[in-house]
A = this chain, B = another copy of it.
Amino acid sequence: MIPLGSCTMKLNATSEMIPVGWEEFSNIHPYAPYDQTAGYKILINDLEVKLSKITGYSAISLQPNAGSQGEYAGLLAIDAFHRSNGDQQRKICLIPESAHGTNPASAQMAGMKVVPISCDKKGNIDLEDLSEKASQHSNELAAIMITYPSTHGVFETTVTDVCKIIHDHGGKVYIDGANLNAMVGLCKPGEFGGDVSHLNLHKTFCIPHGGGGPGVGPIGVVKDLAPHLPSDPLKYEPPSKNVGPVSATNFGSASILPISWMYIQMMGASGLRKATQVAILSANYIAQKLSPHFKILYTGKNGLIAHECIIDIRPLKELCGVEVDDIAKRLIDFGFHAPTMSFPVPGTLMIEPTESESLAELDRFIEAMICIRHEITQVEDGTYSIEESPLRNAPHCAEKVISDDWQQKYSRSVAAYPVDLKGRNKYWPPIGRVDNVYGDKNLMCSCPSMSDYQEES
C-alpha cells in the first residue's frame, strides 16, 4: 500500500496499460494531417464525453500535461471570461490557506493576485473571512480556488454556500479536482457550483505516477467558459484574444489517454461509483481504527471523513520530540511507503488508501501504525530517548542491523521485524536515513565521474 493522501495511487491494471504500446497510438506524429488521426479523435471525443458526464462540466480540454498546467489553463479561462466581459480589473484570486502549493503558483502565473482565506478550527473554509474578503474585493474578484473534498479530507457542507458567495460577487469558482476520486458517481463539481476544475487523470483515472510523471491534467468548464479553453498551439496567433496554448501539442500527452479510457470503460457507471464508496469506506475504517491512538485532525458530517485522513503528529512531537519524518521512515521497516507528509498541515500525515487495497492490507497498515504509536509511548515513558529510538534510526538497512557492533537499546529484531510478517517478504531499504541538509549544502546533481569510480575500487 502506498497510502498517499491527495496523491491517490490507484491500481494500474495491465489491460489499461497495454494499448499505450500499440503502434497505432504510439507511432503517430502530433502534427500528422487530420485525416490520419481519426482514431485519436474518436478516443479523445469519447473520453471528453465521459469526463463531462462524470464531472458535470459542459466542455473539456485534454491539452494540459499535468494538474498544475490544468490549474493555469483554468485560471486563464476565467481571466479571459472576465476580459471578454470588459472586467479586466478582476484579478484577485482567493485561495484557502490549506490549498496545494500549485494553486497560488498557478494564480501567480496567470497574472492574478492571491488573497489567502483562513480556515476555521474544524479545518473548513472560514465563511466569515470569505464573505469579508469577497465583499472587500467584490469588484476585482476573479475567482476562488478551492479543493473538494477539501485538502483536509473532508466534504465541507458549506461548499454550495462558498460557491454562492463568490458567484454573487461576480467571481468564478475553481474547484481543484485532485480529489475527484472521492466524488466520482456521488457528486459533480460542475453541478454544485464549480466553474472550472482540473482533473488529475494520473490520480483519479489510473494513469500511473511513473515516479513523478507523466500526468494528464485536463480541465472541465461550464458553458460560459467553454470559449476560453486552451488554443491549438499551431493555430494560435499571438494578437488574438483567445487563451493561448498551454502545451506544445493540442492534446498534450495524448498517448496515455487510453489508460483512463480503459479504466472508465471497464468500470462502467456502477463500478466507478462503487470504487468511490469503497475508497471512502476504507479511509473511514482506517480513521476509526487509528483514532484511539492518534489524533484525527479533521472530520466532517457525522464525524466521517472523505477519502483520506489527516493524523496529527504535533501533539506527540511536543510530548517527546517525534517528527513526522520518524514515522515515515519507520514505516519503511514495516514495508510501507509513507503517507503524504506535512501537507496540507505541517506536522501531520495524510493517509489515503484507495479502493484497491484489500482488507488484509488495510489491517496490516493499521497494525504498523499502532505498533509505531507504541514505540512513541516508549519514548514518552523514557524507555529510550527519541535519538535512541527505532523511530529516529529508521529505516534500518540490513547492513546496519547485521553489523557486529549493534549498540541500540532495542534489539535487532525490533529494528527489522517489528511485526510478524506472516511469511510475507521483508523489504530492505538499500540505504539508511538520508542527510538532506548535507546534500543541499554540497549540491551535486550529476553522476559521479568515472575517475571517482576508479578511486573507489
Contacts and interface: CB of A to CB of B under 8 A. Distances in A.
Among A398, A402, A430, chain B packs the most CB atoms within 10 A around the CB of A402
A412 B417 contact: no
Contacts of A457: 422
A412 B422 CA distance: 23
Contacts of A398: 398, 416, 426, 428
* Chain copies in complex: 2
A404 interface: yes
A457 B359 CA distance: 15
A411 B404 contact: yes
Contacts of A456: 422
A191 interface: no
Interface in A403-456: 403-404, 411-413, 415-417, 422, 425-426, 428, 430, 456
23 contacts: A398-B398, A398-B416, A398-B426, A398-B428, A399-B417, A399-B426, A401-B402, A402-B402, A402-B412, A402-B413, A402-B415, A402-B416, A402-B417, A403-B412, A403-B413, A404-B411, A404-B412, A404-B413, A422-B456, A422-B457, A425-B430, A426-B428, A428-B428
A430 B421 CA distance: 12
Contacts of A403: 412-413
Kindly list the 10 A-B residue pairs having the minimum CB-CB distance in the complex, ordered from nearest. A402-B412, A404-B411, A402-B416, A401-B402, A404-B413, A402-B413, A398-B426, A404-B412, A403-B413, A398-B398
Interface of A: 398-399, 401-404, 411-413, 415-417, 422, 425-426, 428, 430, 456-457
A233 B210 CA distance: 50
A403 B402 CA distance: 9
A240 to B, nearest CB: 47
A398 B430 CA distance: 14
A185 to B, nearest CB: 34
A438 to B, nearest CB: 19
Nearest to A425: B430
Among A398, A422, A428, A457, chain B packs the most CB atoms within 10 A around the CB of A398
A411 B406 CA distance: 12
